[in-house]
Amino acid sequence: MTGFDLSNLHLLRPEWLWALLALPVLAAFWVVRRRRANVWQGVVDPHLLPHLIEARAGRRLQPGPWLGALGYVLAIVALAGPSWRQVEQPLWRGQVPLMIALDLSSAMSAADPPPSRLAQAQAKLGRLLELRGDGPVGLVVYADDAYTVAPLTEDTANLALFLDALSPGIMPRDGANASQAIRWSTRLMHQAGFERGQVLLLAGQADADAAQAAAEARSNGFETSVLGIGRTGGVAYRTADGDSGVAGFDPARLQAVAAQGGGRYAGLATDEADLRSLGVLSAAPGDAVSGEGEAGRIWQDEGFWLVPPLMLLALFAFRRGAAVAVVVLALGLPVLPAQAADWWRREDQVEHKRMVEAAEAFRQGDYARAASGYARVGSADGHYNRGNALAKAGQFQQAIEAYDRALAIEPGMEDAIANKRAVEAAVKRQQDGEGSGGQGEGKQDGKPSPQSGNGGSNEPSAGTGGDTGDASRQRGGEEPPQGPAPSLDNGDEGPGTESTPDASDGKSPAEQAAADAAQRERMQQALEQARRAGEGEPGGDGTPVAGPDGETPAERERRVANEAWLRRVPDDPGGLLREKFRIEHERRRRQGDWDE
């Protein structure tokens, strides 16, 4: 038992300690039973017993009850799971891959729903890649044949880069071969070493071959779900050949594909309800995959060290009877996991947990809950971060009070001093705006613009130095907004990532007019200087006048030439995919197969 640290001693399953309450009850029962053990007490008067029964020379101490009580205590403590050290353990993640199959036929250009089916599908896929928690994801597109845009990957952000380049024009031939897309998707997952997986088909129509392909995939362990793109009734569109066509939408066929594939069907929704109903926002539990190079630390259950002394004590009680049977039967009782470590946490561990929970609420934009969580931490860091959360929520006076409490505990906290000054400056600007302008242009919703209290700089005023890496220490990571951050749409941003509105917010109309006039004058001077530089007019000393950015006429000429050259380069984000699919199409045509 090397590495024993008494300060880390705690119980993994402390609820077992409730069983110790039964020990006094068992002791009382044993004493009562012991007193009634003499059978003569039931047939002989008590005053005659001393004369009939031979008195013992001395009472011997019987170790049986004491050994039984000791064994009971050891067993309960072992079941409670004492632990004092952590061990590394490989991380195992339940990962069922998701292969997305997107229809890129010319029918996807139909404007139902507007602006087009393809635009709606791209937006939906972007949202899916943003919300999906874990599990590998791949992307396949299909028309007359299926092609791989990206194989299975954990990097969903990289996969999202391909979405804007997808269009029917990158496909070698037009068509709507959904069956080939399902088969190709399952083939890619099987080649990646997965025995199970999900196929998500985004299409407006499918045929009987697609349902058969989904059934084949299901028999191989891969289920197929369908997200229907389109509206009933059909709408006209332009085919790849330039002809007119009608884009049909057949939800019955699509539902049949999902039913045959063992998956689900959902129609396109304006929110994430369709993705939730399909169950694709997170990897389905199933095949556990070891994270290569990834390991975590868990508390080691040391209760097994109490088993050998418990077995030695059991040898003294080994006799015919019910004792052994009870012990054997007790081994089969189920032990449910329980999280009750809070009972044995130190005060600093409790504060650390509260800081982590409050920081998570801050990152989610729930500033009220974050402030409430930080209020439960009595340290200077807790009050400082509570001030940041209150400032984000627009409660500036409460934020200043929180900074004051942090400074009372730690007077030299530079971050709290800087953020307090910034909030006070924001309050002053708000009061000045309310007193001078009423509802003028210089005020937006009665709230000041976020300005830094650090010499007028637009950078966050809280410093980033001194962070020890502890989750409970978050200075420089959660600056106040220096203004009404809740009015900005940055609820998904983490602490310290505030937007910076125009610096003109909060000015009075007179100040704004003066600033506009000065800006127009500067622009006129810059334009005149640029005109003189373009015409080659010399300055006062006979040298060419530089542009507004210090650019000479020769440099300007080179820049204009470079820009003109760059404008000649065609803006074709799908060109690489188009060429890739064309080469693959030619290879398949020559070889007569569709192996990649």
Q: Give the pLDDT confidence of 490-508 residue by residue, as tens digits.
A: 333 333 333 333 433 444 5
Task: Please check whether residue 533 is in contact with residue 546, taking contact to mean a CB–CB distance below 8 angstroms.
Answer: yes
Residue range 414-433: mean pLDDT, rounded? 86
Backbone angles phi, psi at 365, to 5 degrees: 85, 5
Task: Please check whether residue 478 is in contact with residue 362, taking contact to mean a CB–CB distance below 8 angstroms.
Answer: yes
Is it the case that residue 365 has pLDDT exceeding 70? Answer: yes
Find the Cα–Cα–Cα–Cα dihedral 81, 86, 87, 92, rounded to 10°.
80
The span from the CA of 383 to the CA of 373, in Å, is 10
- Indicate the SS3 state at residue 316: helix
Lowest-pLDDT range of 53-67, 85-99, 134-148, 374-388: 53-67
Alpha-helical runs (H) found in 261-366 = 273-278, 307-316, 322-331, 347-363
Backbone angles phi, psi at 199, to 5 degrees: -115, 125
Nearest to 82 by CA among 73, 71, 92, 69: 73
Nearest to 142 by CA among 177, 107, 97, 108: 177
Alpha-helical runs (H) found in 5-161 = 22-35, 49-52, 63-80, 117-131, 156-160
The span from the CA of 547 to the CA of 555, in Å, is 10
Lowest-pLDDT range of 94-108, 230-244, 408-422: 230-244
The span from the CA of 235 to the CA of 245, in Å, is 8
* Residue 126 in tokens: 């972007």
The span from the CA of 430 to the CA of 217, in Å, is 64
Q: How far is CA 589 from the centre of its chain?
A: 44
Residue range 502-530: mean pLDDT, rounded? 56
Is it the case that residue 572 has pLDDT exceeding 90? Answer: no
Distances from the Cα of 484 to the Cα of 34, 389, 429, angstroms: 77, 12, 12
Q: Could you identify the residue written with the tokens 């006076």? A: 397
Share of the chain above pLDDT 90, in %: 29
- Indicate the SS3 state at residue 222: strand
Lowest-pLDDT range of 90-99, 142-151, 173-182, 237-246: 90-99
* Residue 414 in tokens: 């530079």
Residue with the bigger pLDDT between 376 and 469: it is 376
Lowest-pLDDT range of 210-219, 242-251, 338-347, 378-387: 338-347
Confidence band of 66 (pLDDT split at 50, 70, 90): confident
Distances from the Cα of 221 to the Cα of 214, 259, 263, 311, angstroms: 11, 14, 11, 48
Domains and CATH numbers, the chain: 6-46+62-85+302-337 (no CATH), 94-290 (3.40.50.410), 347-509 (1.25.40.10), 530-561 (no CATH)
The conformational region for residue 232 under phi > 0 = left, psi -120 to 50 = alpha, else beta, is: beta
Task: Please check whether residue 263 is in contact with residue 210, taking contact to mean a CB–CB distance below 8 angstroms.
Answer: no
Angle at 58 between CA 54 and CA 60, to 5 degrees: 115
Number of H-type helices and E-type strands within the chain: 19, 12
DSSP 52: H
Q: Which amino acid is at 130?
A: E
Residues near 440 by beta carbon (within 8 Å), at least 6 away in sequence:
508, 509
Confidence band of 221 (pLDDT split at 50, 70, 90): very high
Is it the case that residue 474 has pLDDT exceeding 50? Answer: no
Residues near 269 by beta carbon (within 8 Å), at least 6 away in sequence:
none
Q: Please report the pLDDT score of residue 506 as a whole number.
A: 45
The span from the CA of 239 to the CA of 51, in Å, is 118
The span from the CA of 561 to the CA of 553, in Å, is 12
**Average of per-residue pLDDT values in the chain:** 75
Alpha-helical runs (H) found in 192-306 = 208-219, 251-260, 273-278
Nearest to 203 by CA among 241, 247, 162: 247
* Cβ count within 10 A of residue 596: 14
Task: Please check whether residue 402 is in contact with residue 384, taking contact to mean a CB–CB distance below 8 angstroms.
Answer: yes
Q: Could you identify the residue written with the tokens 């044993």? A: 30
* Cβ count within 10 A of residue 329: 10
Backbone angles phi, psi at 555, to 5 degrees: -65, -40
The span from the CA of 486 to the CA of 419, in Å, is 17
The span from the CA of 97 to the CA of 334, in Å, is 34
Backbone angles phi, psi at 147, to 5 degrees: -140, 150
